[in-house]
Amino acid sequence: GMTETSPVASVNPIQHIQIGTIGIPVPSTLCKVIDDEGNELPLGSIGELCVKGPQVMKGYWQR
């Protein structure tokens, strides 16, 4: 789940709040939405959110 991206992956800047969005990635973070085959989807598409950045855990405790 997305708990691996603790503490944050994206924000809505105060001056550009848009209801219904997750905002933009925080610095040093990449976000994209992919389909079941791993293909990147265009903005506004429904799929799986993938996050890459220094806040993402590399693995699980004792695994």
Rounded mean pLDDT of 2-26? 83
49 versus 62: which is more confidently predicted?
Answer: 49
Say if residue 2's pLDDT is above 70: no
Give residue 26's pLDDT.
Answer: 94
Q: Which domains does the chain have, with CATH numbers?
A: 2-52 (2.30.38.10)
pTM for the whole structure = 0.75
Per-range mean pLDDT, top range of 11-20, 39-48, 54-63: 39-48
Query: In sequence order, what DSSP letters do the residues of 1-63 get, joined into one string?
Result: -GGGG-S-SEE--GGG--TT---EEPTT-EEEEE-TTS-B--TT--SEEEEESTTS-SS-TT-
pLDDT single digits (tens) 22-58: 889 999 999 999 999 999 999 889 999 999 998 888 7
